[in-house]
Each structure stands twice: as C-alpha cells, then as structure tokens.
Structure 1
Amino acid sequence: MSKSNDAGHFFQTSDALATIERKAAKAKNKHGDPIELPSKILAVRAIDDGSVYVAEAAGELKRVVLETSQVKRISSPAPAPLTSLAVSEATKTLYAGCWDKYIYSTPLSRSPSTVKQRLAGHTDFVKCLAATSLNGQPILLSGGGGADAVIIVWDLGTGKQLHKLRGHTKALQDFAIDPFSLPEGSAEPKDSFVLYTASSDPEIRCWHISWDSAYELPESLDKPILAHDTSVYRLRFDSEGDLWTASADKTVKHLVRSRDWEADTVLQHPDFVRDVVVAEQLGLVVTACRDEEVRVWDISSGDLVCTYSGHFEEVTGLALVGGGRKVVSVSIDATVRQWSLEKQEMARYLEELKREEDGDDVEEMVEKSEGGMLTAEEEAELAELMDDDDD
C-alpha cells in the first residue's frame, strides 16, 4: 500500500493510485483533436451539417461544430443527467431522456432560454429514444432504465401515450427499427413497423407497432434472440438487414438474418462494449469500449485494423460523420473526438503513435543512462534509437 499525505489518496490501493496517475498523464494527449466540455458526455447524435448533438451529465444539451470546435448550448439545463437523444425532423424538435424519469423536448428553431416541455410516463430513468412516424404523424419511442423496463410509444402531436409495452425483465438499453419492415426505398414507416429491442437481460425481442395496436411478435415470445451472455447495449441494422450488437459480455457480434440470427462474426474486446457503428462503404465496423479505446475492424475478415487511443475514461457513444468516412466518439472524460476511417489516415496515426512511444522509450533510457543503469545491450539500443530520431 502506498503512503501519501494527500487526503484524496486515503484508503486507495496502489493499483487505484496508479490508475489515477495513468489517466492524468493520458489526459494531456491531443489525439482525435479533443473538444472539451464541462461534464461527462452520455450520448451523441450526428447532424448532416457536420455537427453533433451531445447530452451531458450536467443536464445540458450542446451542439458541437466539428470543423471549428464551436460549442453552443441549445437548452436550459435539466435537473439531472441526460442519457439519450432523438431528433424529430417532422416537429423540428430535439428530445432528451433524463435521469429524473422525464423526456424533455427542445424546439430547434428557438433560443436556449426556451422553456422545455416534458413527457411523463416512465417510473425510472429514461435510457433510450428514437423518433419516427406512423400514418404520416410524428411519434417517439422511449425505453425505461432501472426498474422500469417499459417501452412507450408517444403521439408527438398530442404528447399522449399510444402504447406501453412490457416484456423485458430488466432495463431497456437500445432499440432499432427493422429496415425490412419499411416501404422499399423509404427510411420512414407507413402504417406499421417492427421494432427490435435490447436490455440488461441478454434477450433481443421484436414488436409489431402500428397506430392502433402494439404487441410482441409470436416468434419473439417463443424464441427471443439469445446471442449474448448478458446485457446488450446497442443494436444496429446494416443494409442487408443483419444486426450488429454490442454487449457487456465483451463482444460485438454480426447476427445474420438468413441464418436465424446466427453470429458469423465475433469481435472480442477486453471490457464492456458500449457502442458499434457500421461504415459499410468502407467495409469497416467501429466499436467503443469501456477500456477507453475506439477500435476499427474489417467487416469481411473481422481483423482489427486500428485502435484509436485518446480518451482517458470510458467511451460512451459513437456517430458516423463526413459521409461515413469519419467517426466521432464521446466519453466520460468530457471530450468529443474525431477519427478518420480512411486507410491512409489510420496508417498515419499508427506511425505517429509509434513515434510517440519510441520517444517515451528514449526519454526513459536516457534517464537510466545518466544514472549509469543501462546494460551494454541497452546502450546500443539507445544509440540506435537516437540515430533514428536524427534521421
């Protein structure tokens, strides 16, 4: 056990102190061109104009312009952390789920001082949101966290509940609309759609949603999808209608519809995987892990292409921007970072990272050399490294 007179170190193990020191050192890095915000970032949504919306633990919604790093507050603070985001193009409104059990709506055409409306219906914090339409009318889907575990379908025209669905035994984590249930060539439902849902239990369930009725599909009742060992944090459909799933079992899986949702690709991680996005035109999958890293994988082979290391706390969300050629990551470390998915840029980053690591090696070896602590072999290695730096 380390000794310290710092009150902040009382009752902390050597490992805990080492982690604090490591994160403090890593916080100085500028990888991913960090844009700093004042509090933890819990959710992110991309905007077509090169910006993202972010939800903060301080209860604020911000718009971040990626090219200029401009940060603009777009709502007055909520009384608790904001956990999730959804944008309704029909109502030109941004919706945010909150720890205080409410959903807050902020018109995007008004000033940040606008008094927010709120939707009440959950008995615990709101974990996930999605906006779409039915019969040409805007609706909102919300999933309850904690002990709630309920899906609510809202009529945004009236603010009233259309349906309340129960099936999961634990907190909702995410949901995704099945693209195969939409009219061909359309991103919006017509009179009904199928919703896939994930929660803190390992089951993925599916529901039929229309204006007049909502129910769990018989095949889901009989045999929900069981691809993971524990919580499923994210669901993403690709253009083939297959599912990519991220889980607390430390894997991302590609579930193939035509094989009854069998996993044909499993991406192993060292810790919980919080998010996954699919950059199909580049043949890449990007994952966000609790170990602070953003990883880029090859879709066809499942090989790891690049590990982006910059965040110094858990990565909480990802969003594709720039036509799917760049990914934005957000984190508990209160930064927004951007990473290229172009092969040349990833190679350039890896080379830069190696130079930084070699530079650290040189600095450490110089210190040992000055203290007369190097062996003959280490002296030769140091000389070689110094020659490389001169080149």
Structure 2
Amino acid sequence: MSRSNDAGHFFQTTEALATSERKTAKASNKRGKPIKLPSKILAARADPDNDACIYVAEAAGEIKRVNVDTGEVRKVFAQGVAPLPSLAICTHSQSVFAGCWDKNIYQIRLWDRRLVRTLQGHTDFVKCLLSTTLNGKPILVSGGADATIIIWDVEFSKPLHKLKGHTKSLQALAIDPRSVYEGTGIDAGFVLFSASSDREIRRWHISYCGAREFSDSIAKPILAHDTSVYSLCFDSEGDLWTASADKTAKHLVRTRDWEADTVLPHPDFVRDVVVAERLGVVVTACRDEDVRVWDIASGDLVCAFSGHFEEVTALVLLGKGSRVASVSIDGTIRSWGLTGQEIASYQEELKREADGLDAGEGDVQAKQGVLTAEEEAELAELMDDDD
C-alpha cells in the first residue's frame, strides 16, 4: 500500500488550505538569496574558519556546510535515522557535535568528516549544545528534553557532571563572558546560564572538579518571561538578550539584577536573538516567518525581512556582524545585509513589488521534509514545547 506525505491528499480545514496556498505562493520569492536544502533546518552555527560559511543540522539527520555567498553545499555527516535539533563547533578538537532525537550526541571530525565518537547520557532528545574548554581541555555542555544538563569531558567521552534544577526541557545554554576564569588549576571554570521550557533562567558554577548552582538561583532563578525561553545571547556589556515563546525578546541588565529594560514585541514565538553591536542593532527570528532588525538604543523596529515561508529556527551573524544568515523549517538558508544602505535597498525592493513593478518569478512548490506525517506532528510538538 502506498503512502503519501502530500498535505493535499488529506482532509484539511479552509484555514489550513488558505495557509498552504499562501506558503506555496510565498515559496517562489528570492529574497535573501535562498539556498534550498532537502529537509527542514533545525539548527545553525558559524564556521570559525570562513566568515561566509555556516554549518546546519537538518530533520533528515544530516549536517551540511553551506557557503551563503556561492551557494556551495557540502555534506559533513549523514546519520539518517532521526532529526538533529542542536549543533556545536569545537575549534580545539576541530569537530562538530550534533545532538539528536535518538538521545545521542555525535562528534564528527571536520577535516575528514569522520564520526569520532557517540556520547550517550541523556534519556530524551538533545535540545541544545555548547562547546568550550576547561584546563585547556575540550568540554561539551548538553541540555536535553529530559531537563538535564550534562558537562562532558570530550577527550575521555565521559560525563563530568550532571545538573538537575530545571523541571522541563532545556532550550538554550550560554557562558557568562564576565565569569570565565581559565587556567590550569582546580579553580578554572565559568558560570553557565541555562534556559528551559519552565521559563526559568538558571546559573551554575562549572569547574573541572565540580559543578553547583548559584546559591540564590535555586530560590530565585531569573524569571524574565511568562513561558519557554528559547535563546540566550550576551552582549559586550555582559548584559543578556533573551527570546521567548511569550512573543517577546528582552534585554536583561546585569547591574539591575537582570531586570528587563527593553522589551521587543512580536506577533508569535521568538526563536532566536543575536546582537550586531557594531551596527547598533539586535536581530530576532520569529515563528511568523520574519527576521526583524531592532535599534538597540531605542528598541524601535528598523526592518522586517520577509522571505521564509515557514518558521525561522536560527540566526547566525556573518561578516563581523554586518549581515545575518537565517535558517528555517522551509529548508532554506537566506542572508540579509544589516547596514543602513542594505536595509534601505531591501525596503525599496519591497516598495517596487507592492507597486507591481517586479514580475513574478513563477510558482515553486515548497518541498516538504523527509519525515512521515506522524513525525511531522512530533516535530511540531517538539518545536512548540512551551508548557
């Protein structure tokens, strides 16, 4: 018996049909110079060796290195069993780590694309990864849907510490840049910030020999949002930018005990936030398919880049913060210039389109991912984990 993943072969409501038609029509647009991949893109990281390249992880279980300037795509890893929702690049070991739905973490060597090892320790999806060093050794931090954070000694493939405190799925990890005290002694370490679907942002002292939560964090975690916190990003002042399912991105000020002094409202979940300080802007990715640029000083919306036809899942700054790459469930990678001149050019292009001066470029059907209908529903539940 044949099976189909074509939505048109199933009963759909009028609203669902209208949404499908809108997305199909929007899929033909060329804004952001789209590079199309065969399945949904769930995570992205900058290539530390090439400012025009990013690494992406797909629902098809593959990792690819993509040059956003040339469109060149190189396959790095093909696990092929389950989606890969998280990535981290380790420059120390020249490796890429991928967290998977199968609860494993895969380490792939970049120069020969060889699978080096598989880390096993989580009891549910691996949702977020972060790479750093301790005592000169490569360390990996992982957060799972099992509400557990694991600190890994990469060299010996073993967990150093398992941290419990959150009550729901981990969503984001970040190292406080003001806390890093590197060295070769037992005191070398850093402070880790973690965010979860329980809406809490917690802080942890991490060293090679031990890990503990801030003394006041258990009783008083940072509660800046009403629901899931999806992204954490520190700026050069040591302040924190956050993105949440409560439809806001916020600027939390360190000297005010992480009080929010800027709130950026969105029409839907905010999936990611990055700060391009050289240009004085912060960029957010939203489930409504747009990439927004905001003025840091005023909090005013500068521009909304519209091109994706499905939820935007991640952002990567390129060109020393002069542009941003966005990736999406629609399987495309797009890049957007952040300078005043490039934003003005984009807005002029939109005006020409609105005035009917630009001819359409033909209908291009939005390709679906490689998942079954049941897996599509599970992916949607995973991405929308905000209760």
Output the TM-score relative to the length of structure 1: 0.87
Please give the secondary structure, in 1, of the residue aligned with 2:61: coil
> Aligned pair in 2 of structure 1 residues 63, 362: CA closer, same or farther (>3 Å)?
closer
Residue 229 of structure 2, aligned match among 228, 232, 240: 232
> Aligned pair in 2 of structure 1 residues 165, 272: CA closer, same or farther (>3 Å)?
same
Shift of 1:14: 1.3
Unmatched 5+ stretches in structure 2? 1-5, 361-387
Shift of 1:8: 2.3
The match for 1:254 is 251
> Aligned pair in 2 of structure 1 residues 249, 126: CA closer, same or farther (>3 Å)?
same
The match for 1:306 is 303
Question: Are the equivalent residues in 2 in contact too, given 1:326–1:338 (CA < 8 A)?
Answer: yes
Whole-angstrom CA distance in 2 between matches of 1:343 and 1:208: 41
Shift of 1:222: 2.0
Whole-angstrom CA distance in 2 between matches of 1:308 and 1:249: 21
Residue 272 of structure 1, aligned match among 269, 272, 295: 269
Structure 1 runs (4+) deviating above 4 angstroms are 360-363
CA shift digits 1:28-80 (9 cap, x unpaired): 00000000000000000011412000000000000001211000001133410
> Aligned pair in 2 of structure 1 residues 362, 86: CA closer, same or farther (>3 Å)?
closer
| RMSD (Å), alpha carbons | 1.9
Whole-angstrom CA distance in 1 between matches of 2:40 and 2:104: 20
Give the share of equivalent positions with the same residue, in percent.
66
Shift of 1:116: 4.7
Residue 205 of structure 1, aligned match among 188, 202, 207: 202
The match for 1:323 is 320
The match for 1:376 is none
Shift of 1:217: 0.8
Aligned residue pairs, count: 351
The alignment status of 1:129 with 2:122, answered yes or no, reads no
CA shift digits 1:90-147 (9 cap, x unpaired): 1111100000000001001114xx34521000000000001111111111000001xx
> Aligned pair in 2 of structure 1 residues 7, 208: CA closer, same or farther (>3 Å)?
closer
Residue 241 of structure 1, aligned match among 238, 241, 246: 238
Q: Where do 1:35-184 residues align within 5 Å? A: 35-48=35-48, 49=50, 50-111=52-113, 114-145=114-145, 148-183=146-181
Output the TM-score relative to the length of structure 2: 0.88
The match for 2:3 is none
Please give the secondary structure, in 2, of the residue aligned with 1:222: coil
CA shift digits 1:183-231 (9 cap, x unpaired): 49x9xx9811100100001111000000111011111112110000000
Larger Rg belongs to: 1
Please tell me the residue identity of whatever aligns with 1:343.
Answer: G
Whole-angstrom CA distance in 2 between matches of 1:343 and 1:361: 23
The match for 1:32 is 32
The alignment status of 1:335 with 2:332, answered yes or no, reads yes
Whole-angstrom CA distance in 1 between matches of 2:304 and 2:165: 37
- Between 1 and 2, higher relative CO (CA 8 Å, sep ≥ 6) is seen in 2
Unmatched 5+ stretches in structure 1? 1-5, 364-391
